[in-house]
Amino acid sequence: MSITLDSQVPVAAPVSAPVKGYWQAVFSRLRRDPVALIAGLILLIILAMAIFAPWLAPQSPYSTSMLNRLKPIGTEGFPLGTDELGRDMLSRLIYGARLSLLIGVMPVVNAFVIGSAIGIVAGFVGGRTNTVIMRIIDVFYAFPAVLLAIALAGALGAGLVNSLFSLTVVFIPPIARVAESVTTQVRNYDYIEAARASGARSLTIIRRHVLGNVLGPIFVYSTSLISVSMILASGLSFLGLGARPPMPEWGLMLNTMRDAIYVNPWVSVLPGVMIFSVSICCNMLSDGLRSAMDVK
């Protein structure tokens, strides 16, 4: 029996995958990550809850009833019980998603944009500019986060916008710090030198070579701040500086229900459960995003 090695057999040349954009590739990888998918789904549901609150909520979140105070979970007409003023917990949780998401996410988004810009510029330029920028950042960083938020919100006056602003200021230093350290690391790679050697201007280099390599870690770190932001915001609300009663806001609800924890523990922790699930889903999703954005 003879074996002929036929070199003429046409071998289909393996053609690499059709040109896909970077983000397309990221999403196709993300789709294969069940944890991130579930986390994203839960966040989407909560977001939908916030948007469609008036249609989803069975009752008004403001209507009180002295007769139906602190009903347990599963009461007729109040599936998740009622709070200390007899308001429907389910409706308040649904409406609360609006304010809580806003107050938890907005400062972080703002701080992400501003903080990364500051950090990347400081890290990329380096030298004395870096020192000046980062020492100024350190001054803000030296204050405890809560104290700084309270001081700023107090000085600016009570109100939702002011508390959003003060929380943004609180989150800029840590994000700028992370951005600066990652950028400093990236800027010393040879590919940055090669890009500079090709005559590219700093802004082009930052846009094409630095951003893609630093935004991932900054993004992941920032999403972990969403939970902190929600807690801080509720603290501000508690002091009368942020959301005010009777506005439905999870942090505020958690604070006001504190007294009822011995009477009706399960209902009292519900806002906490919401805060917890939003923050853990954010962390999971950002973790999944980070590994999806990592081409390695």
Query: Which of 23, 204, 240, 261 contacts other proteins by CB under 8 A?
Result: 204
Quote the CA–CA distance of 85 and 67 in Å, as a whole number. 9
Q: Which one of 35-43, 80-88, 203-211, 228-236 is the stretch in contact with other proteins (CB under 8 A)?
A: 203-211
- H/E stretch holding 109 reads helix 89-125
Nearer to other proteins, 161 or 197 (CB): 197
Query: Which of 208, 240, 245, 258 contacts other proteins by CB under 8 A?
Result: 208
Min separation Cβ 198 and other proteins, Å: 4
Min separation Cβ 218 and other proteins, Å: 14
How many other CB atoms are there within 10 angstroms of residue 110's CB atom?
Answer: 17
198 binds other proteins (CB under 8 A): yes
x/- letters, 171..190, toward other proteins (CB under 8 A): ------------------xx
x/- letters, 70..99, toward other proteins (CB under 8 A): ------------------------------
Query: Which of 12, 155, 203, 295 contacts other proteins by CB under 8 A?
Result: 295
Nearer to other proteins, 19 or 66 (CB): 19
Min separation Cβ 29 and other proteins, Å: 13
Nearer to other proteins, 216 or 271 (CB): 216
Quote the CA–CA distance of 94 and 98 in Å, as a whole number. 8
Query: Which of 74, 193, 244, 280 contacts other proteins by CB under 8 A?
Result: 193
Q: For 14-53, give the DSSP string.
A: -PPPPP--HHHHHHHHHTT-HHHHHHHHHHHHHHHHHHTH
Q: What is the separation of C-alpha 152 from the centre of its chain, rounded to a whole number of angstroms?
A: 22
Q: For 198-265, give the DSSP string.
A: TT--HHHHIIIIIHHHHHHHHHHHHHHHHHHHHHHHHHHHHTTSSS-TTS--HHHHHHHGGGGTTT-H
Min separation Cβ 25 and other proteins, Å: 10
Query: Which of 138, 191, 207, 273 contacts other proteins by CB under 8 A?
Result: 191
Quote the CA–CA distance of 116 and 177 in Å, as a whole number. 9
Min separation Cβ 13 and other proteins, Å: 7
Instruction: Write the single-letter amino acid at 262.
Output: Y
Q: Do residues 87 and 267 touch, judged by C-beta distance below 8 A? A: no
Quote the CA–CA distance of 273 and 25 in Å, as a whole number. 34
Q: Which residues, other chains included, contact 227 with Cβ-Cβ below 8 Å and sequence gap of 6+?
A: 104, 275, 276, 278, 279, 280, 282, 283
Nearer to other proteins, 27 or 189 (CB): 189
x/- letters, 10..39, toward other proteins (CB under 8 A): ---xxxxx-xx-x-----------------
The percent helix, strand, coil of the chain (3-state, each to 5) is: 70, 0, 25
Nearest 10 degrees: Cα torsion 185, 189, 192, 197: 140
Min separation Cβ 109 and other proteins, Å: 23
Residues that bind other proteins (CB under 8 A): 13-17, 19-20, 22, 189-191, 193-201, 204, 208-209, 212-213, 295-296
